[in-house]
Structure formats: structure tokens, C-alpha cells
């Protein structure tokens, strides 16, 4: 039987990590419940809806108590085997009635509200980083959100700072110049300034992660990195000049390399990170190695944000079989980054 405690401000821990519940109709709440059942993290608080998390705990047979916090400092006072929850105001009514595995505007609105609340807590210094469970872009759009995904929303909430997406696992890291747009539009967005900015953000982020001089490989856009202009001139006109400008700034960037081979070289240890021009160029190699340990990191934000390397998995939502490994890896990455 689940129990719930209403907590009041008193003793406090160091600022916790926040885990947003994601889309209520997807596997986000399930993998959160399962992760707490397996690991019982004591340094993190879930930002979400009480009824949705009750449903997730029951669905996964996790046997957890739910503790509704009125202050994040109450985390220190919780008993063992307890899932701590911070519930934002103004969440949609009846959210737990939204059908699992289906696009629902209420779920999109709630996911956005949880992200907004988590970012506000971090920017106020009350939490030290955010781990986001998967959201569904159609549900976000149905709720009236103007953002195509997490990255763009977080960027806006942080004041419009330039950001980039990095996907990482134990074998490979990739950073993207362009993300959520059509491939045709992405090609137009591959400019010298965009590539140079990506290289600067990447270099700064990896230095904060402990690399004294990160080795950055730059993948081309076209087959064979353009083959000297025979298959496109983006490498000659935009990418190579950006690499030269980055090197003049002291960044150890090299390329452009053929996209079909550079990821193998990085995986063997020749480079610390690969900068890719488009979403699928960069993400397919990392995801092919296994989504279980993949982590999405947003570079350039004034706070740490990580996320699992998978989506809402509507096809298995509600079956209680979703694997929390990638969420666990994202939480572990957030701990390392905030410690650094």
C-alpha cells in the first residue's frame, strides 16, 4: 500500500537534482518509478503530478511510498523506499485519466509546466540540475507550446543563450550543429558562424568536464566531406573556414572528415568528441551503440541538463516493461557534471 507524507520546511540537504516526469502518457513516469525502486536515489526529487506518479508506481509494482514536498529541503527527512515529489501549481486537472500510449494535450501541457517549474527552481539556486524524462513533441504542440522540443524550450527559459545538443555514452560523444528542423532547412543552417559557435560551445563544455584540451573532430555534411567540391561546397565555403577560425582561438578542431568513417575513429579513441552537421548524422551512430546508456546533454545552458537517449515509447507505455537504464545513466551524468 502506498503512503503519502505532506512535508514542511525544516532541515535541508545540498540542492538536489530535479527529474521531470515527462509526458504522462508515455514511459517517463514508469521509468522514474522503476529507477527509484532499483536505486532509491537520495539526491533527486521528481517534478510531476501526484496522481500520475501514483499510477506509475502501481503499474510497475515498485512498492514505493510517495512523499509530496512543500520544500526541497525536506528531502533530508524522508524515510527509505520513498519517492519524493514536487508538484507544480497549475497542472491540468484529471491528468491521470489521459490514456496511456496516446497523444494528449493535457500531457503536453503538464510536461511543459514541469520543465518550467524545474528550471525556475534551478535558476533560483534551489536545485543543482535537471534530468528530463521524455516528452512527446506532438502533445507539446497540441498544448499550444511554440517549442519543437526540450532543447529549444530550455534555451528560451534560460534567456535565449546559444545551446547545442550532445549525445554521449561510454564509447562516443557527438554534438550537433542543427537539431529539430527538416533536412532541407538544416542544410541552410550549416553556416560558418553556426559551426564556429558549435565548436566554441563544445570545447568549453568538455573543458568543464575535465578535458584540458578536447580533441574535436568535425564531420562534413556531404558524402566524402564534399570530395573537394564535387558533391557539394558546404565543407569548402562554411565548415573548413569555421575550423580554421576555431583553431585560431586555441580549439583543437580538425576536419572536415567524411561522416561515414569519423565516428569509428572517435570510438577508437582518436578524438574526444565529434561535431556533426545534422540531427541524424550525429545521433544514429550513438544510438546504434545502444540507447540503454545513451545520455542527451544540453550544452551552453547556465545549469546542467541531461536526458535519456529515447522517446516516450507509446507502443509499450502502460505495460510496466520500460527499461530505466538510460534514465539512470542521465542521472549519473548529471551528478558528474554538477560535481565538476
Per-residue pLDDT of the chain (340 residues; tens, 9 = 90+): 233 333 333 333 479 999 999 999 999 999 999 999 999 899 999 999 999 999 999 998 878 999 999 999 889 889 888 999 999 999 999 899 999 999 999 999 999 999 999 999 999 999 999 999 999 999 999 999 999 888 899 999 999 999 999 999 889 999 999 988 899 999 999 999 999 999 999 999 999 888 999 999 999 999 998 788 888 899 999 999 999 999 999 999 999 999 999 999 999 999 999 999 999 999 999 988 876 778 999 999 999 999 998 899 999 999 989 999 999 999 999 999 998 7
Name the nearest CA neighbour of 109 among 121, 91, 94, 97: 91
Alpha helices in the chain (DSSP H): 28-39, 50-60, 105-123, 137-142, 150-157, 183-189, 192-208, 234, 240-248, 259-267, 279-288, 325-339
Q: Which residues pair with 19 in a beta bridge?
A: 46, 131
| Domains by residue range for the chain, with CATH | 1-161+301-340 (3.40.718.10), 170-289 (3.40.718.10)
Per DSSP, the residues of 29-73 read HHHHHHHHHHH--SSEEEES-HHHHHHHHHHHT---EEEE-SSGG
**Neighbour-count burial for 58-80, b at 16+ CB within 10 Å, e otherwise:** ebbebebbbbebeebbbbebbee
Residue 123 — left, alpha, or beta (φ > 0 → left; ψ -120 to 50 → alpha)?
Answer: alpha
For residue 291, the model assigns a pLDDT of 67
Quote the pTM value. Answer: 0.87
The end-to-end CA distance of the chain, in Å, is: 40
- The β-bridge relationship of strands 173-176 and 164-168 is antiparallel
Cis peptide before 256 (omega within 30 of 0): yes
Model pLDDT for residues 265-319, shown as the tens digit of each residue = 999 999 999 999 999 999 999 988 876 778 999 999 999 999 998 899 999 999 9
How far apart, in whole angstroms, are the C-alpha atoms of residue 49 and residue 237? 50
- 101: cell is 500510449
- The β-bridge relationship of strands 252-257 and 273-276 is unpaired
Amino acid at each position: 500500500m502506498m503512503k503519502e507524507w505532506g512535508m514542511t520546511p525544516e532541515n535541508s540537504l545540498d540542492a538536489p537534482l530535479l527529474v521531470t516526469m515527462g509526458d504522462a502518457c508515455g514511459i517517463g513516469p514508469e521509468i522514474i518509478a522503476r529507477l527509484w525502486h532499483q536505486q532509491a536515489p537520495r539526491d533527486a526529487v521528481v517534478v510531476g503530478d501526484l496522481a500520475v506518479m501514483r499510477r506509475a508506481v502501481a503499474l510497475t509494482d515498485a512498492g514505493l511510498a510517495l512523499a509530496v514536498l512543500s520544500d526541497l529541503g525536506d528531502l533530508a527527512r524522508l524515510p527509505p523506499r520513498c519517492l519524493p515529489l514536487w508538484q507544480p501549481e497549475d497542472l491540468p486537472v484529471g491528468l491521470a485519466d489521459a490514456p496511456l500510449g496516446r497523444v494528449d494535450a493535457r500531457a503536453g501541457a503538464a510536461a511543459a509546466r514541469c520543465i518550467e517549474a524545474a528550471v525556475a527552481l534551478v535558476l533560483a539556486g534551489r536545485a543543482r540540475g535537471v534530468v528530463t524524462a521524455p516528452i512527446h513533441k506532438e502533445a507539446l504542440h497540441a498544448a499550444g507550446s511554440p517549442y519543437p522540443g526540450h532543447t529549444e524550450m530550455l534555451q528560451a527559459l534560460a534567456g535565449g543563450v546559444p545551446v547545442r545538443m550532445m549525445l554521449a555514452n561510454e564509447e562516443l560523444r557527438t554534438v550537433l550543429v542543427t537539431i529539430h528542423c527538416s533536412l532541407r532547412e538544416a542544410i541552410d543552417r550549416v553556416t560558418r558562424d553556426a559551426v564556429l559557435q558549435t565548436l566554441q560551445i563544445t570545447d568549453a563544455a568538455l573543458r568543464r568536464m575535465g578535458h584540458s584540451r578536447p580533441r574535436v573532430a568535425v564531420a562534413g555534411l556531404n558524402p566524402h566531406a564534399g570530395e573537394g567540391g564535387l558533391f557539394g561546397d558546404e565543407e569548402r565555403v562554411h565548415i573548413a573556414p569555421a575550423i580554421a577560425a576555431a583553431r585560431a582561438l586555441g580549439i583543437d578542431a580538425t576536419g572536415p572528415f567524411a561522416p561515414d568513417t569519423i565516428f569509428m575513429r572517435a570510438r577508437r579513441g582518436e578524438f574526444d568528441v565529434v561535431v556533426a552537421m545534422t540531427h541524424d548524422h550525429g545521433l544514429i551512430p550513438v544510438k546504434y551503440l545502444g540507447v540503454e546508456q545513451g545520455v542527451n546533454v544540453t550544452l551552453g545552458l547556465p545549469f546542467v541538463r541531461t536526458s535519456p537517449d529515447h522517446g516516450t515509447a507509446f507502443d509499450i507505455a502502460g505495460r510496466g516493461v520500460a527499461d530505466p537504464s538510460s534514465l539512470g545513466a542521465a542521472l549519473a551524468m548529471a551528478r558528474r557534471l554538477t560535481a565538476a
